[in-house]
Structure 1
Amino acid sequence: MGSILLATDGSEYARRAATRAIELAEERDATLHVICVVDERRFGDPALSSAELATIYAEDHATITVDEVTRMAEASDVDVEGDTQHGLPHEIILDYADEVDADLIVVGEHGDHEEHFSGVGREITESAVCEVVVVDGGT
């Protein structure tokens, strides 16, 4: 049994990537690990400000996103584990892939924060030591 990591941000591209990751986990009899990273460049740890509310919203969104994919995977009888973390997305995703010994990382082509996520996908593709699948908008 292998391990697949889905990096998600809740965008439409990420939902397509989730569907593909679940299919791959079924085909490979693999455990699906799902991570959503709250980007510290956008959502740091401010003290009692409107930015703090945005950070809380981002954290809630990350949790909801991981829970949604977890429910999708469980409905397909795929073993699934989810996590949310703060940091630089590509660094956290690559570290998490190492931690769970991922054979494959699945990401969407673009994300909610396109200027960041497209760079994230590129960084992951260039730096990962395992296979990477980038799911485009037409998949």
Structure 2
Amino acid sequence: MYANILLPTDGSDGARRGVDAGLRLAEEHDATVHALFVVDERHVTREYDHVVEDAERRAEAALDDVGGAAAERGLSVEKHVRWGVPHAEIVAAIDAYDADLVVMATHGRTGLDRLVNLGSTTERVVRAAPVQVLTVPVERGSDVA
């Protein structure tokens, strides 16, 4: 039913719950997994090499995390890093990677990051995505089967 599943991640514990649910679905449907990390250009400038390097390290670590979890399930992952506004880049990635499902947690970053961003990235993706979006709650006891 699903051939290409897009798994956006920011490397947070909350995002990992979405990734886990997406990997379970990829396993069930023998789907290709596209792990995506979006560097938020509203908060990271490309003007300073050390800032870019830090953003790239965070992206690589988050995507390696997805790759490791996928490997444990016998799945391979295509890893993608995009720069821009997260919800817009996630929606653009749907077409770019021919995704027919997006799986993401209802919350990723918390605290000040969440307050600064006016609204939820997940909510914006749900509203704009041309494909189904499975949202995974991050609260304890809310595992997806």
Question: After TM superposition, is the score higher than 0.5?
Answer: yes
SS in 1 for 2:42: coil
- Once the 2 structures are TM-superposed, how far is the Cα of residue 117 of structure 1 from its aligned partner? 8.8
- Paired residue type of 2:82: Q
Quote the residue 1:10 is aligned against. 11
The farther-off stretch of 53-62 and 99-108 is 53-62
- Is the Cα–Cα contact under 8 Å of residues 109 and 118 in structure 1 kept in the other structure? no
| Pairwise CA RMSD | 1.7
- Paired residue type of 1:129: P
Q: Distance in 2 between matches of 1:99 and 1:125?
A: 17
Compared CA separation, residues 100 and 121, structure 1 to 2 (3 A): same
Quote the residue 2:114 is aligned against. 114
SS in 1 for 2:94: helix
Quote the residue 2:50 is aligned against. 53
Q: Which aligned pairs between 1:1-139 and structure 2 lie closer than 5 A?
A: 2-47=3-48, 53-112=50-109, 113-115=113-115, 116=117, 119-138=120-139, 139=143
Kindly indicate which of the two structures has a greater share of residues assigned to helix: 1
SS in 2 for 1:77: coil
Q: Distance in 2 between matches of 1:8 and 1:117?
A: 19
- Number of corresponding residues: 135
Task: Spell out, residue by residue over 1:19-48, the C-alpha distance to the aligned partner (whole angstroms, 9 max, x if none).
Answer: 11100100111011000001000002124x
Gaps of 5+ in 1: none
Compared CA separation, residues 72 and 58, structure 1 to 2 (3 A): same
Gaps of 5+ in 2: none
- Is the Cα–Cα contact under 8 Å of residues 107 and 120 in structure 2 kept in the other structure? no
Q: Distance in 2 between matches of 1:117 and 1:80?
A: 31
Could you tell me the percent identity over the aligned residues? 34
The alignment's TM-score, normalised by the length of structure 1, stands at: 0.89
Task: Spell out, residue by residue over 1:103-139, the C-alpha distance to the aligned partner (whole angstroms, 9 max, x if none).
Answer: 1101111112324395211110001011101111133
- Is the Cα–Cα contact under 8 Å of residues 4 and 32 in structure 2 kept in the other structure? yes
- Is the Cα–Cα contact under 8 Å of residues 13 and 135 in structure 1 kept in the other structure? no
